[in-house]
Amino acid sequence: MARKPAKRRQRPHGVLPVGFDWRDGRPRWLPSPTRRAQGWKPCDFVVRSPRSGAVWLSKGDAIARAEAINAAVAAWTLKGTPVPADMAAFAPPGAHDGTALTPQQKLDRRAIGALIDEWLRTPKFTLPRGQGGLAATTVADYRSKIHVFQQALVEGEDEKALAQLRALPIETLAAPEEEADDDFAVEDAYQWLLANRGHNMAHGVTQVASVFFGWLKTKKRMAAFAINPVALIDRTPPAGRIRVGTPEEMAALVASADALGLPSIGDSVLLALDLGWSLKDILALDKRRLVKLPDGTGAQAWHVARVSRAKTGVASSEIPLLAIGSAAVDRIFARHAGRAVSPTRLIVREDSPRNRSGVWTNNAFNKAWRQVRDHAAATAPSLLTGDGDEGSDFNGAFDFMDTRDTFITLARSAGLEASEVCKRSLHKDEAHVLRLWAKHYGTGNAAVGRSGARKMSAHLEASGWVKALVSG
């Protein structure tokens, strides 16, 4: 009786990377037929040198190398990410320096992916801000949000689904012809974002998508987008989040920063409260911009000489510091006086064994900020919890960016005009500040009401209205 042939043992799915091949201690990576058609070639996992000859990688190292190659292949195929230089020998020609078109870049010119890529290569995204381009932070924000929009369209992050979406014709995203048409991809994406990413992200992502659709209409002359599909979605703008700090909270933050050996965090808080600047602008402030000038009373006071905001380029000059900011500058200069090398930035990162550059990155600063805030919460618990009143301006944990809202709230209470706020906080224009106040801060608070009443009372008294209409 003939023996039944033994079943072939199948490789357990997911145990070894795709393309990994092990032949008696000589591992290789073998591209699939599809990858070969794209220009990928087999690769031996061997290191050759004149002294030791050929040394093959161990199985563990070879598996890790195969995984890295597969990740690079996927990134190049789906996103156009250049292949690392150490893979250039077996990659398609030009894949490592961006000169070769990727499979996604070879899409039909009317495909979703091709048009998004073309939009991201327009002058707004490639030129410097001074030549008509957007600010670098805005460019990064747009790129991120249009990518999230594509994820929302496929309702996930599956790379295969995203590749299939990018190959679809752009008309797939056009507004439906009939109101009752249930096939409305953009609205479905918005609803997915609401459920999975929150209201703020859903609104922000669809705003960027709306700009893209507007480009399709005006620059590409596409009749299918004569109606912007985002305009047909029933969207509600997210409510502004205003978290205003208190004197006690700010004092606790400064004290904790000093106690933890991070006085630059406390200095940043004081300057942000004094000027109403963002963290990026505070950290970039050159101390050579600080000068002593007459303050109008004959005394000398600290002023910020000409400066421009990093995000928008809005410029201002001779901004006088108040008592809070002046005290911070005095103590900063006192600390800098003992340094062997005087730094140029006003806010200097404290030395540590791992970093002696003196430059705060955003990530490092935010990590230190959270450490200071958590320590300060022992003295001022509301820094983490708010005051507990439902709907209160002070509800929720305090973030560094909230110092800007605190400044604007105090400025309104002090009766500053919009032009006075713009001069100090580097907002784009007066109209923008007024819209910001109306949207996020309402029509005014009790302090504004009292200030207005005092001004009107003085005016009516001086102009004779009170004498004429109010009996003695």
Give the model confidence (pLDDT) of 233-261 as tens digits: 988 887 666 788 888 999 999 999 999 99
Of residues 5 and 232, the one with the higher pLDDT is: 232
Question: Which residue do the tokens 């039909």 mark?
Answer: 108
Q: Name 201's Cβ contacts closer than 8 Å, sequence gap at least 6.
A: 148, 193
The chain-wide mean pLDDT, for the chain, equals 83
Domain boundaries along the sequence of the chain: 20-90, 112-232, 247-452
Q: Is the pLDDT of residue 192 over 90?
A: yes
pLDDT in tens, 203-228: 999 999 999 999 999 999 998 899 99
Say what the pLDDT of residue 179 is.
62
For residue range 286-321, list pLDDT tens digits in order: 989 999 988 777 778 889 988 888 777 788 888 888
Please give the share of the chain, as a percent, with pLDDT higher than 90.
31
Q: Where are the alpha helices (DSSP H) in 232-345?
A: 247-259, 263-275, 279-284, 323-336
111-149 residue pLDDT tens: 899 899 999 999 999 998 778 888 888 898 999 999 999
Query: 247-452 maps to which CATH number?
Result: 1.10.443.10
- pLDDT on residue 378: 94
What interhelical angle do 136-154 and 159-167 show, nearest 10? 100
CA dist., res. 44 & res. 57, Å (int):
9
The residue-averaged pLDDT of 55-81 equals: 87
Separation of alpha carbons 244 and 395, rounded Å = 9
Give the per-residue pLDDT at 390. Answer: 55
| pTM across the whole model | 0.57
- What is the pLDDT confidence band of residue 8, given thresholds at 50, 70 and 90? very low
- Asked whether the predicted pLDDT for residue 443 surpasses 60, the reply is no
| Residue 12 confidence (pLDDT) above 70 | no
Q: Identify the pLDDT of residue 3.
A: 56
Torsion over CA: 126, 309, 137, 194 (sign)? negative
φ, ψ at 97 (rounded to 5°): -120, 10
To which residue do tokens 């005095």 refer? 330
d(CA 134, CA 253): 35
Label residue 35 by pLDDT band (50, 70, 90). confident
> Is residue 193 very low, low, confident or very high in pLDDT (cuts 50, 70, 90)?
very high
- Higher per-residue pLDDT: 362 or 187: 187
* In contact, 30 and 21? CB cutoff 8 Å: yes
Sheet holding 26-29, edge to edge: 20-23, 26-29, 43-44
Residue 76 clears pLDDT 80, i.e. is over it: yes
296 burial (CB, 10 Å; 0-12 / 13-18 / 19+) is exposed
Q: What is the pLDDT confidence band of residue 335, given thresholds at 50, 70 and 90?
A: confident
pLDDT top residue among 10 and 251? 251
Token pair in block for residue 447: 């302090």
Percent of the chain with pLDDT over 70: 85
Give the E-state strand segments of 164-213 in sequence order: none
* CA–CA gap between residue 352 and residue 262 (Å, rounded): 11
**Chain mean position to CA 371:** 21
Q: Tell me: the pLDDT tens digits for 343-401?
A: 788 999 988 777 767 788 888 899 999 999 999 999 999 999 876 655 555 667 889 98
289 CB-contact burial (10 Å; exposed 0-12 / middle 13-18 / buried 19+): middle
